[in-house]
A = this chain, B = another copy of it.
């Protein structure tokens, strides 16, 4: 009857710490495999969003069967990878104190850090779009997005950020500029240092109260 494990993906899919047993004791080598797969998948998907499972398994130094033992479908794998990436980004961004200083300067600091992270995962987001659909990807993305939302809202209350446009639109502007900078750098039309300044300057101007 074969001993395929796979009771459920390696957790990670659900973000909420709802009342789930969750531990799912696994053997050490299994945990090692899962970590290797997640890492390899992140790197591979990020290099080109259309990698097949064979490639990912090979990059992880693991047999295809083993991979399917832990992730029932490709979609589940991509979902786990995106969740993992978002979690890492979330942790990195936690180090930033967003309550210090004015909202615009806080945003600038946030942008400076976000930018690197976003740039590292840019292709991954394309893969996410392809394999999970826009809604699911958006759901993941929102776990990080909320910071921007909050800082902008604070700035609007304090009079540091324009209130003649919807908060959601200003958030969208923030991300649009971030993505644009990443694209420009990747296309070789801008270097990393210029990108940071350009984003900060443009963002400041765009969000300033009229």
Known contacts A168-B184, A184-B168: A202-B173 contact under CB 8 Å: yes
Asked whether B190 lies within 8 Å of A180 as measured between CB atoms, the reply is no
Chain B residues positioned under 8 Å from A187 (CB to CB): 134, 138
- Report how far A194 CA is from B168 CA in the complex, Å: 12
Total residues of chain A contacting the partner, CB 8 A: 30
Of residues 159 through 194 on chain A, the ones whose CB sits less than 8 Å from some CB of chain B are 162, 164-166, 168-169, 172-173, 175-177, 179-181, 183-184, 187, 189-190, 194
A134: chain B residues at CB < 8 Å are: 187
Q: How far is the CB of A123 from chain B (nearest CB, A)?
A: 11
Provide a sorted-by-A list of 22 A–B residue pairs whose CB atoms are within 8 angstroms: A162-B205, A165-B202, A166-B190, A166-B194, A166-B198, A168-B184, A168-B190, A169-B189, A169-B190, A169-B194, A172-B180, A172-B184, A173-B180, A173-B202, A175-B180, A176-B176, A176-B179, A205-B205, A205-B206, A205-B207, A205-B208, A206-B206
- CB pair A201–B164 under 8 Å, yes or no, is yes
- The answer, yes or no, to whether A15 is at the interface (CB within 8 Å) is no
A3 at the interface (CB under 8 A from B): no
Distance between Cα atoms of A181 and B173 in the complex (Å) = 9
